[in-house]
Amino acid sequence: MIVVMRAGATEDQIARVSQRLRDLGFGVHLSRGAERTVIGAIGDKAVLTGVDLEAMQGVERVVPIRQPFKLVSREFRTEATVVDVGGVLVGGPQIVVMAGPCSIESYEQLLETARAVQAAGARILRGGAYKPRTSPYGFRGLGEEGLRLLAAVRQQTGMPVITEVMRPDQVELVASYADCLQIGTRNMQNFELLREAAQSTKPVMLKRGMSALVQEWLMAAEYLLAGGNHQVILCERGIRTFETGTRFTMDLNAVPLAKELSHLPVVVDPSHGTGKASLVAPLARAGIAVGADGLIVEAHPDPAEALSDAAQTLSLEEFAAMMHQVRSIAEAVGRSA
């Protein structure tokens, strides 16, 4: 439930209500808005029998949260959360485009890609160093050397960087290089990884499991918030359907639905969502049109030679053309890019 304090509630009243809730066994999270403070209380409501919180000084009302995800829900926090990725704000009025190769292959490849996507308007650089591959014979990434290249290119370009972390014991290492941790579709319900990422001071982008319900995705995000990390970005990256003409089916419904249910920013990944380079720009446009806060897109100087996800990777020219179109859509829906 949440306890909404009156507009003029004093610090002392807020502290008393928080303490009362802690004494009753609730976990307490304060959220201070411009007008009023809202106290989130997570725990067993049964202990409230005979307790009248609304009678306490400074309390305006007590609102139960009906959703199974609590901290993540719009009922808990009505204002949109803005996540700061190395100085780039995700979830604000300006949409944010993250772009770069699926896999980091070399310094030259990464720098050339970064410079081109940055010139086209991307503000965060993506690149995989630890790659989850369907086949054990696929390229599995450069590992820590990839992270070093990412940090070197950030140094050169000033772009914050996002990269995937696959194992709980890698979180600290990856977080020491990255501005944002990416949790991939195959790990959305790796609860040990979520618990570890929740301890990180770096924001997390949580990709939707390819067969996960929106509710399961939000419950996975709840692990991050409940563990103490409130800087979470949701990413719709396509789900499994009966369709075989595309690699996955980008679930556009999920974007406005997740934004209705949650205050967290939502970005879309039209690269993995389609698996087909020619469909990336149309679905990028669609994602922004339905209200996504940004995009994550794979681009490479020579897609045909990319060591992973070549078929869905845009050339640097195609990426620039896509950005042009995305900007018009962003403006049409009252955002900028």
Provide the binding-site residues for ligand PEP, judged by CB under 6 A.
102, 128, 132, 184-186, 207, 237, 269, 272
Q: Which does 207 bind (CB under 5 to 8 A by kind): ligand PEP, Mn ion, none?
A: ligand PEP
Q: Which does 185 bind (CB under 5 to 8 A by kind): Mn ion, ligand PEP, none?
A: ligand PEP
> With the CA atoms of 240, 212, 253 and 166 taken in that order, what torsion angle do they form, in degrees rounded to the nearest 10?
-90
User: Contact at 8 Å (CB) between 94 and 337?
Assistant: yes
- Residue whose pair of structure tokens reads 């790659």 in the numeric block: 131
Q: Which does 263 bind (CB under 5 to 8 A by kind): ligand PEP, Mn ion, none?
A: none
Nearer of residues 102 and 225 to Mn ion, judged by Cβ? 102
Q: Which does 237 bind (CB under 5 to 8 A by kind): Mn ion, ligand PEP, none?
A: ligand PEP
Nearer of residues 10 and 106 to ligand PEP, judged by Cβ? 106
Q: CA 272 to CA 315: how far, in whole Å?
A: 15
Q: Which does 259 bind (CB under 5 to 8 A by kind): ligand PEP, Mn ion, none?
A: none
Residue facing Mn ion at closest CB distance: 102
How distant is the alpha carbon of residue 24 from its chain centre?
Answer: 33
CB of residue 8 vs ligand PEP: minimum separation in angstroms?
A: 47
CB of residue 164 vs ligand PEP: minimum separation in angstroms?
A: 6
Nearer of residues 60 and 139 to ligand PEP, judged by Cβ? 139
CB of residue 88 vs ligand PEP: minimum separation in angstroms?
A: 18
Nearer of residues 105 and 309 to Mn ion, judged by Cβ? 309
Nearer of residues 69 and 130 to ligand PEP, judged by Cβ? 130
Nearer of residues 251 and 309 to Mn ion, judged by Cβ? 309
Question: Which residues sit at the interface with Mn ion, rule CB under 5 A?
Answer: 102, 309
User: Contact at 8 Å (CB) between 122 and 323?
Assistant: yes
